[in-house]
Amino acid sequence: MDSFVLVIFGITGNLAQIKLIPALYDMEEKELLPSTISILGISRQEKTPEQLKLYLWETLNSENPNHPHKIEKAVFERLCGKFHFLSGDILKPDFYPILENHLATLKSTGKNIDNRIFYLATYPDLYETIFNNLKNSRLSSQDNGWTRLIIEKPFGQNLSSAKNLNSLLHKYFGEDQIYRLDHYLGKETLQNILAFRFGNELFEPLINKDYIDHIQITTSEEFGIGKRGGYYDSVGALKDVGQNHLLQMLAFATMDAPSEFSNPAVTKERVKILTSLIPDPEKLVLGQYSGYKNEPKVSPDSKTNTFFAFKTQINNPRFQGVPIYIRGGKKLRLNVAEICVVFKVPLNRLFSHLGSGNDPNVLIYRIQPNEGIVLKVLTKKPGHETELNENFMEFCYRHIKGNHNLLDPHERLLYDAIRGEQTFFNDAEEVEAEWAFVDKLSSQNPEPITYEPGQWGPKEADDLILMDGRVWIEPSTGFCRI
C-alpha cells in the first residue's frame, strides 16, 4: 500500500469523533496503516500536541455504541505518532499557503505527502470554497502522486441539487478521484449479498418473477432524532435514509450479475435497477412520531416525516409485476434493517392442508442486528403426527469464531479509499438515479400522519400492503443468536 497523507477538514466535528477517529484506531490496531502515513487534522480550534493527544484519547474512550471495545495504550500511542494538527479558517485563501508549508515540513522529515486524501467532514455548503482554495494552491494537483477526495452523504437535497453538486465536484476532480461515502455500502451483510447470490448457483435461478411473490425492506430505529433536530427537520426520513440506504439494499438484492467483480461492472448493474424503479406517488405513506415537534431545534409546526412506506416495482423482464414494499423510520418497535424475499407458494404444495402448510419460504438478508443470511423453511415437528414448524436455515456472523465484532463500515470504506477501490462508493449517475426516483415518488408531498412511538408507523402503512392481500413481516429475533 502506498504511503500518503490524510488531510481531515473538521477533525473536531461530530462525524470525525463518532466515525472517523475510531475507524483510524481500528486500522492502526490491525496494522493496516503504513508506518510512514501522516494524518493531518484541521480545525478552527487551536490545539497543542498535548491537547490533540488528550482530545483523541477522550474521543476514543467516550461512550460510542459503534466503537465499544477497549482502547489499548500501545495502539493509541502508535496512532498518535501519525497524527498532526493545524488550526485555521478553511474558508480563507491565506490558510492554504500555511497548509502547504505544513505539508512541506512533513515531507522534509521523510513523510510521503505527494499522495493525498482530503476527507471533508464538513457541511456541503463549504465544499466549493475548499475546492477552489485547494486548486489555487495546487494542493489538489496530481503532478507527483495521486489525490483523492472523500465526502459523506447527503449528496444533495433533490435531483437538481445533486446534479449541481456533481458538476461542482467534476469541476475540480475526476470521477475516479471522488469517493462518495454511504456507510451502508460498507456493511458486511450488504456486501455479502453479492457473494451469496453470485458465488453460488443455488438461489440465483429463483430470484425472478416466476418464483418471487414480493420483496419487503425494513429499516427501523427505536430511538428518535436526538440532537440532530437542526439537520433532520430540513430533511426527513425519506431523504435521510430512504433515498440512499434502502434503495441500495434493494439494488444489491435484485441487480443482475456483473460481468466481473469491478467498480464499473458492479456499479453499472446497481444503476440499472435504480433507473428501472417505478415511482408511484399514490403508494407513499409519510408519518411523524408523536412528540417530534417538541424535540430540540424542531419547528413547532413541522411537517417533516420521521417515517415512510411506499410500494414500487422494477420495470425489467426479470422482476416485471413483482411488488416491492419499503418502509423505514424512527421511534419504531425495533432496531432492525433487513431485506425479505418472499417466495410464491405453489397451489399443489403437498402439506398445504396442515397448519402453516401454506406459509411462504422467505430469504432474509439481516443487515443489523444479528447479522446474517437466513432462509425460513417449514420442517416436520418431531413426533408421531405430521405437523409443521417454521424454522431457519442460518448463516450467522455471531456463530463464526472470531467474528463477533464485524468491521465498522467506515473502517472498511476508508481502507478501500486508501487502496483506490471505488466499488462500494456511489458514483454521480447512481446518486442522480436515486434522487430522480425519490423526487417523483414524493412529488405530491403528502402530509405526515401522526403515529405513537413503539409501533410500526401509522395504520395507513399497514393498509398500503393489506390492499394487495399481504402483510408486513414482523422482523424476527429468533435467529442468529448466541
Mean pLDDT value of segment 140-148: 93
- In the set 84, 245, 353, 399, the catalytic residue is 245
> Average model confidence (pLDDT) for the chain?
93
Output the DSSP codes for 367-435.
EESS-EEEEEEEEEPSSSS--EEEEEEEEEGGGSTT-SSPPPHHHHHHHHHHHT--TTSB-HHHHHHHH
Predicted local distance difference test score (pLDDT) of residue 36? 86
Predicted local distance difference test score (pLDDT) of residue 228? 82
Pair 221, 446: CB distance under 8 Å: no
Question: For the structural domain made of 5-152, what CATH number should be given?
Answer: 3.40.50.720
- List every span in the chain annotated with CATH 3.40.50.720: 5-152
Output the DSSP codes for 67-85.
--SPPPHHHHHHHHTTEEE
Predicted local distance difference test score (pLDDT) of residue 295? 94
The CATH class given to the 185-466 domain equals: alpha beta
Predicted local distance difference test score (pLDDT) of residue 372? 94
Q: Is 245 a catalytic site residue?
A: yes
C-alpha distances in angstroms, 92 versus 122, 426, 435? 15, 30, 33
Predicted local distance difference test score (pLDDT) of residue 477? 83
Q: Whole-structure pTM over 0.85, yes or no?
A: yes
> H or E element: which one contains 316?
none
Between residues 10 and 227, which one has the greater pLDDT?
A: 10
The pLDDT confidence band at residue 64, using thresholds 50, 70 and 90, is: confident
Residue 267 pLDDT exceeds 70: yes
* 313 phi and psi angles, rounded to 5 deg: -145, 160
Predicted local distance difference test score (pLDDT) of residue 482? 65
Strand partners, 307: 287, 329
Q: Tell me the pLDDT tens digit for each residue of 323-343.
A: 999 999 999 999 999 999 999
Q: Please tell me the distance from the alpha carbon of residue 268 to that of residue 265, in angstroms, as a whole number.
A: 5
- List every span in the chain annotated with CATH 3.30.360.10: 185-466
Between residues 231 and 255, which one has the greater pLDDT?
A: 255
* 342 phi and psi angles, rounded to 5 deg: -100, 120
The pLDDT confidence band at residue 20, using thresholds 50, 70 and 90, is: very high
Residue 283 pLDDT exceeds 60: yes
Mean pLDDT value of segment 433-455: 96
Predicted local distance difference test score (pLDDT) of residue 405? 67
Q: Which of 308, 329, 303 is nearest to 224 (CA)?
A: 329
One-letter amino acid at 393 equals M
Mean pLDDT value of segment 253-275: 97
Span of 34-48, 213-227, 399-413 with lowest mean pLDDT? 399-413
Predicted local distance difference test score (pLDDT) of residue 402? 59
Q: What percent of the chain has pLDDT over 70?
A: 99
Q: Tell me the pLDDT tens digit for each residue of 349-364.
A: 888 888 788 899 999 9
